[in-house]
Amino acid sequence: MAGEWFESVADAQRRAKKRLPRSVYNALVAGSEKGLTLHDNIAAFDELGFAPHTAGLSNERDLSTSVLGQPISLPVVISPTGVQAVHPEGEVAVARAAAARGTAMGLSSFASKPVEEVVAANPQTFFQIYWAGTREQIAGRVERARAAGAVGLIATLDWSFSMGRDWGSPHIPDNISLREMLRFAPEALTHPRWLVMFTKTGRIPNLTVPNMAEPGGTEPSFFGAYGQWLQTPSPSWDDVRWLREQWGGPFMLKGVTRVDDAKLAIDVGVTAISVSNHGGNNLDGTPATIRLLPAIAEAVGDQIEVLLDGGVRRGSDVIKALALGARAVMIGRAYLWGLGANGQAGVENVLDVLRSGIDSALLGLGRGSVTELDRTDVLMPADFERAVGV
């Protein structure tokens, strides 16, 4: 929509906050317990500095790289999130935006759109899976993703079911009954544009998770699927190996925070890991991912692809992560703010803001390509790093 262009992720966040009902906005802020990790993910980036050059800079700058064998035009990939209720087109809008900007889409098992529709919108889709249900049920989801044309599998295994937040959790209805409608009405009515978007589609958000459906079965509700996950014993490294073998293609383990776990991930044959604390939604007190990255990248970066997610809000954050050893980053809230602010165009806008920030930082640092970045490109305080499991 004309006149809706924004110049920063912070601006997108402000607009999303204004546009979305409070409970939907708060569900995106998320975080757990006291929010220590949520805040450190962002604050830690601010501790890193640059020392740009003045002349002799590179006039040609190449932002392209690849992740899980997929060429991407900038080192930023969409991290899987359950986008529920932010926008009627949900993950399909995000997938289209990523495709339009030449990058890959991570699709959550808890997404609101079926994997088939998302792959149709972006052939560079990685399907994300949780360890929920029996091996047979998990294998069924893997086969469905493969049949749909997903080109990579992301296993997210770091979830610790931390429920409470000191600032309160938004109420998420299991399905929208008349009673829920009435309860939600005052919020929805004060956000008319969001309401109009959904009423135009002829339905209100139904909070089902189509990618968790049994073959031939109905789409379970968000909480129905969550319940199954909660009751599933957590996976062993043998289970992770089994999952990787079931898939047989490019495979990412998301949620690694320790050097020893990164090495075990190599042993079970992963293609990539993401140094991730689930955006601060897990065990609170886990350090910022950018503090954990250098030791992990140094230990395993020459054997597998190392990505980072958590707290990326600007192009210079991407540059800092790459300088400390990441091949690329994944973004969560940044694109969710864009989606909430302006749908597909808002997500494209966020990717453009990041691209421009990455390019500016490369220019200042005198680098011609994102693959040339190294530790000398950032100023890191002595006590910055957290090397865990060394």
Ligand X SMILES: Cc1cc2nc3c(=O)[nH]c(=O)nc-3n(C[C@H](O)[C@H](O)[C@H](O)COP(=O)(O)O)c2cc1C
Show which residues are catalytic: 278
CB-CB contact of 128 with 227 (8 Å): no
Name the residue with the smallest CB distance to ligand X.
332
For 170-239, the DSSP string reads PP--SS--HHHHHHHHHHHHT-HHHHHHHHHTTS----B-GGGPPTTSPPPBHHHHHHHHHTSPPPPHHH
Question: Min. distance of Cβ 321 from ligand X in angstroms?
Answer: 11
Half-sphere CA count of 220, side-chain side, radius 13 A:
15
* Residue among 147, 148, 157, 156 at smallest CA distance from 128: 156
Instruction: Give whole-number Cα distances, 336 to 158, 339, 362, in Å.
Output: 21, 5, 26
What is the C-alpha separation between 148 and 52, in angstroms, rounded? Answer: 46
Within 8 A by CB and 6+ apart from 26, the residues are 168, 169, 170
Question: Min. distance of Cβ 203 from ligand X in angstroms?
Answer: 21
- Residue 328 phi/psi, 5-degree rounding, is -160, 170
- Angle between helix 36-47 and helix 315-323 axes, rounded to 10 deg: 80
Binding site for ligand X (CB under 6 A): 27-28, 30, 41, 79-82, 108, 110, 128, 156, 254, 276, 278-279, 281, 309-312, 331-334
Residue nearer to ligand X on the CB measure, 294 or 332: 332
3-class DSSP state of 275:
strand
DSSP at 277: -
Residue nearer to ligand X on the CB measure, 108 or 349: 108
* Residue among 306, 313, 260, 325 at smallest CA distance from 44: 313
Question: Min. distance of Cβ 340 from ligand X in angstroms?
Answer: 11
Bridge-partner residues for 153, per DSSP?
Answer: 127, 251
Which residue is it, tokens 């604390």?
277
Alpha helices by DSSP H, the chain: 9-19, 22-29, 36-47, 90-100, 115-121, 135-148, 178-189, 192-200, 222-230, 237-247, 259-267, 289-300, 315-323, 333-365
Within 8 A by CB and 6+ apart from 228, the residues are 132, 133, 212, 220
3-class DSSP state of 389:
coil
Within 8 A by CB and 6+ apart from 11, the residues are none
